[in-house]
Amino acid sequence: MTRAPTFADILEARTRIAPHVRRTPVLTSPALDRRVGARLHFKCENLQAVGAFKARGATNAVMALGDEVASRGVVTHSSGNHGAALAFAASLRGIPAWIVMPENAPKSKQANVRAHGGEIRFCAPTLEARETTCAQVQRETGATLVHPFDDDHVIAGQGTVALELLDQVHSLDAVITPCGGGGLLSGTAIAVHGASKHVQVYGAEPRGADDAQRSLAAGHVLPQENPRTIADGLRTSLSERTFSVLSKQVAAIATCSEEAIVAAMRLSWETLKVIVEPSSAVPLACLIERTLELPGREIGIVISGGNVDLDRLPWQA
């Protein structure tokens, strides 16, 4: 049976990463509250040092490595945010980080990886190519694979977002996060249910990459096939590890259209005055389209990242 981290693992992660990651603020907007008919609390993980919540899981995983293992470095595959986070975490320990990225990864995310000292190895934009290239780097270097989401330490680190949010807002009825591979959502579910008896957890994903919703309905993992979405961070399939958590602890997963993602992204920029990437806009998009309806509730929304190519904004011609 696939193991998943426990609430105790998340508490341990919080202590381990506290010196290295930011305690991010929570923003509110009366205008957005009126728009969706609920009270929204936006947890701004886009303000992490690497511009995404991924700093938490990567830092927890890297700091948990023994010295001898760590000295050989770390490797991962990533469309961008986890790669930059792993490079950041590796730099804290003074070890190398190799980041396997698809050839079509956004330029801004490539730059973010390099800015934190990561060495990029490009591959074709398929899961098979990512995994094959990672295995090759491991053979060449002896580096340890730190998977973007199918890893206990990574999931536990991501769960610290929810611990902070619950500490900052005591009146929450629900928490919504985007869902790609399920690391953030499963970590959130474990943290929330460990800390609270009444707060519900929901996931949000693009309609063009709806494998998590379909997997929960089917009762087993359905692979992501040909995802079509602007939300590049949410094009990944669940793992058995993350599915085992989501199937038991997540109330529902909603989906939204591409048009709603772009609208929610722009609305977030205009009202919250922060940079929000497409993947981060998906929870708000689901509320705007009413595919997830929580009227009158106090809702926490995790803004998962803010790494955007400013020369190619989706609402520009």
Encode the chain (317 residues) as per-residue pLDDT tens digits. Answer: 467 899 999 999 999 999 999 999 999 999 999 999 999 999 999 999 899 999 999 999 999 999 999 999 999 998 788 999 999 999 999 999 999 998 988 788 898 899 999 999 999 988 889 999 999 999 999 999 999 999 999 999 999 999 999 999 999 999 999 999 999 999 999 999 999 999 999 999 999 999 999 999 999 999 988 899 999 889 889 999 999 999 999 999 999 999 999 999 999 999 999 999 999 999 999 999 999 999 999 999 999 999 888 888 999 86
**Virtual CA dihedral for 74, 185, 189, 44, nearest 10 degrees?**
90
Domains in the chain, please, with CATH?
A: 7-52+151-303 (3.40.50.1100), 55-145 (3.40.50.1100)
DSSP conformation letters of 286-310: HHHTTSS--TT-EEEEEE-B----T
